[in-house]
Amino acid sequence: MRNQFYNYITSLQDTIVQGLEAVDGRAKFVEDIWKRPEGGGGRTRVIENGAVFEKGGVNISGVHGILPQSMQDYFKVSNPDFFACGLSLVLHPKNPMVPTVHANWRYFELYDEKGEIVSQWFGGGQDLTPYYLFDEDAVHFHQVCKTACDAHHPDFYAMYKKKCDDYFWNTHRSEARGLGGLFFDYCKPTSEFSLEQWYNFVSHIGDSFLEAYVPIVEKRKDVSYTKVQRDWQEIRRGRYVEFNLIHDKGTLFGLKTNGRIESILMSLPPHVQWHYNHSPAENSEEEKLLKILAQPIAWV
């Protein structure tokens, strides 16, 4: 499975990069191939200063070795040999009417002293972080997620939407990072759902990403905006940074396993503002977004 999934994310990276370059129309992704001294490596692809995307990355990695003690404690394991691979992407558009998006799909294995697999699981998801709320965009994104989930289990969408709403929650702000989507982790094989079925599910979600996001980008990328709206985008980007550096498990895992810092922090936007005690005008579009972020809702 580790080879099967790594081959899948390698192909998916090519597909997503090509699709995003076509949408941007100007900038191209720059590739950076790197190796991890403890074992494995990855292929980072970054786009910057495009016509549509101010900054973004679509990265794959496959790493292995010994888990640091802190991560052994986190996973509550005494067998420290591991393999992990995945694709992670974040896109920060220039136009504040276009939402930021994040997605990742990953696979993990733990081994005993003999090199035999003792645990293996999939994880991943995709979520949308707008700066201005367009209900139809949220409905579209969630409908694509639901359609992909429904092909594998009738309960998956509701279950993984809730996990997403719970996970991408800035507890210190008492607000959601964005409008959610899907989040799933520790998807292990059982008698009811095999490892191959989990692979089929996760790869279906990955294959649906461009369908979920690109139509939104194409609809909003040429909408005019003001400096005030751009400032609001940069203020909200600050919340995105706060979540990634304080709460995000993927960032934590990368930093504690001597991951490649440039690839890990690729998710951070290039221009951000923090204002003391900032609050938007009453009954404004900005306030409308904050009210939605205060309590997750059902989009489909």
Active site residue 278: no
Q: What pLDDT does 6 receive?
A: 98
Q: What pLDDT does 79 receive?
A: 67
Q: What pLDDT does 249 receive?
A: 79
Residue 275 phi, psi dihedral angles, 5° rounding: -110, 140
Q: What angle do CA 46, 51, 52 make, to 5 degrees?
A: 70
Q: What pLDDT does 251 receive?
A: 81
The tens-digit pLDDT sequence of the chain (300 residues) is: 999 999 999 999 999 999 999 999 999 999 999 998 889 999 999 999 999 999 999 999 999 998 877 777 777 777 679 999 999 999 999 999 999 999 999 999 999 888 899 999 999 999 999 999 999 999 999 999 999 999 999 999 999 999 999 999 999 999 999 999 999 999 999 999 999 999 999 999 999 999 999 999 999 999 999 999 999 999 999 998 898 888 887 787 777 766 678 877 878 898 999 999 999 999 999 999 999 999 999 999
CA of 207: how far to CAs of 6, 22, 35, 211, 225, in Å?
Answer: 14, 17, 27, 8, 32
CA distance 159 to 166: 11
Q: How would you classify the pairing of strands 30-35 and 40-48?
A: antiparallel
Q: Where are the domains of the chain?
A: 2-293
Which architecture, in CATH terms, is 2-293? 3-Layer(aba) Sandwich (3.40)
Catalytic residue, chosen from 64, 92, 102, 247, is 102
Two tokens at 130? 């707008």
Residue type, 125: G
